[in-house]
């Protein structure tokens, strides 16, 4: 199936998603919007929980499956890893590290993009944050679940691009290598089966990354404080979609496995429904 490109986008063209010109905004820092964004995450998680009458998401929008036989063991492993992260970060306690982590640019980017995709994607899609285990061990921050065909159409990893480079990022190379190894694996995965959810390990999930400049993150956080999506938020959404299309195009030249190729094609079809 052919891929439709946005106006002005050509195959192989490098897309700089930081190129737009936006009006001046207030100088509030992105972290100042964190309490409001956390409220919005919790509200959306509750909506998704009620949709399937299951508490499968935490208030932070992350997958929560305590009935899984490995959940308790993996939660302990994650806590141990967080203690190591904290120790390497000026000898902080785990609690101190977690508090600082949620205010750093990478975490704010993950939260902001989750919220933006949740409100701009059609209702057929659910956007959730991965379980901590899959974030730390499989490099997947988000899952986008297509309720129409039941599949998880992609795993997303976010990047805050401080330098504003248009050359390939380390994240781009990391995702490319992941695709060559067969795509993303998600231990705590979720699929839709009819009116129910199926919890199972997922393999050969197409992996992508989305990058924001610090200025874009600040603008998006302010946009998310509004009740409805703003023109600048919709503009950013269109450019992120173009970036995903470019990544799909780049995968055509890779020797991907049959299942992964099929899942990439399925995501390309899903992207058609993302148009505003």
Q: How are beta strands 125-129 and 142-146 bridged, if at all?
A: antiparallel
Specify the higher pLDDT residue, 11 or 117. Answer: 117
Band the pLDDT of 22: cuts 50, 70, 90. very low
- Amino acid 163: pLDDT: 54
Query: Are 63 and 201 a contacting pair, CB within 8 Å?
Result: no
Choose the weakest-confidence range: 11-20, 71-80, 236-245: 11-20
Phi-psi region of 180 (alpha: psi -120 to 50; beta: other; left: phi over 0): alpha
In this prediction, residues 54-63 reach a mean pLDDT of 96
- Amino acid 154: pLDDT: 80
In this prediction, residues 99-122 reach a mean pLDDT of 93
- Amino acid 272: pLDDT: 85
Instruction: Decide if pLDDT at 1 tops 90.
Output: no
Instruction: Decide if pLDDT at 102 tops 70.
Output: yes
Q: What are the pLDDT digits (tens) for 224-241?
A: 999 999 999 999 999 999
Torsion of CA 256, 7, 212, 190, to 10 degrees: -50
Instruction: Decide if pLDDT at 84 tops 70.
Output: yes
- Amino acid 92: pLDDT: 94
User: Could you identify the residue written with the tokens 């508490």?
Assistant: 55
Q: What are the pLDDT digits (tens) for 139-192?
A: 899 999 999 888 887 878 777 765 555 445 677 888 899 999 999 999 999 999
Residue 97 is given by DSSP the state: H
Tokens of 180: 């060559």
- Buried b / exposed e along 64-82 (16+ C-beta atoms within 10 A): bbeebeebeebeeebeeeb
- Amino acid 169: pLDDT: 65
- Amino acid 200: pLDDT: 94
> What does pLDDT average to over the chain?
86
- Amino acid 170: pLDDT: 75
- Amino acid 226: pLDDT: 94
Q: What percent of the chain has pLDDT over 70?
A: 86
- Amino acid 260: pLDDT: 94
- Amino acid 164: pLDDT: 52
Q: What are the pLDDT digits (tens) for 202-213?
A: 999 999 988 899
DSSP lists the bridge partners of residue 119 as none
């Amino acid at each position: 199936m052919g891929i439709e490109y946005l106006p002005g986008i050509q195959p192989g063209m490098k897309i700089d998603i930081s190129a737009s010109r936006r009006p001046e905004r207030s100088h509030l820092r992105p972290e100042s919007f964190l309490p409001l964004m956390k409220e919005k995450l919790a509200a959306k998680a509750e909506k998704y929980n009620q949709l399937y009458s299951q508490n499968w998401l935490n208030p932070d929008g992350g997958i929560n499956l305590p009935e899984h036989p490995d959940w308790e063991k993996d939660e302990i492993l994650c806590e141990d890893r967080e203690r190591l992260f904290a120790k390497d970060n000026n000898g902080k306690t785990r609690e101190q590290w977690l508090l600082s982590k949620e205010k750093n640019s990478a975490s704010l980017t993950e939260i902001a993009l989750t919220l933006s995709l949740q409100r701009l994607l059609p209702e057929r899609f659910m956007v959730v944050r991965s379980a901590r285990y899959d974030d730390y061990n499989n490099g997947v921050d988000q899952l986008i679940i297509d309720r129409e065909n039941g599949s998880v159409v992609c795993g997303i990893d976010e990047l805050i691009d401080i330098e504003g480079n248009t050359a390939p990022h380390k994240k781009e190379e990391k995702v490319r290598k992941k695709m060559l190894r067969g795509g993303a694996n998600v231990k705590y995965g979720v699929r839709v089966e009819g009116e129910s959810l199926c919890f199972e390990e997922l393999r050969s999930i197409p992996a992508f990354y989305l990058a924001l400049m610090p200025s874009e993150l600040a603008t998006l956080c302010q946009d998310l404080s509004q009740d409805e999506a703003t023109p600048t938020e919709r503009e950013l959404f269109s450019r992120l979609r173009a970036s995903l299309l470019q990544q799909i195009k780049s995968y055509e030249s890779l020797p991907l496995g049959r299942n992964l190729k099929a899942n990439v094609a399925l995501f390309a079809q899903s992207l058609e429904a993302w148009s505003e």
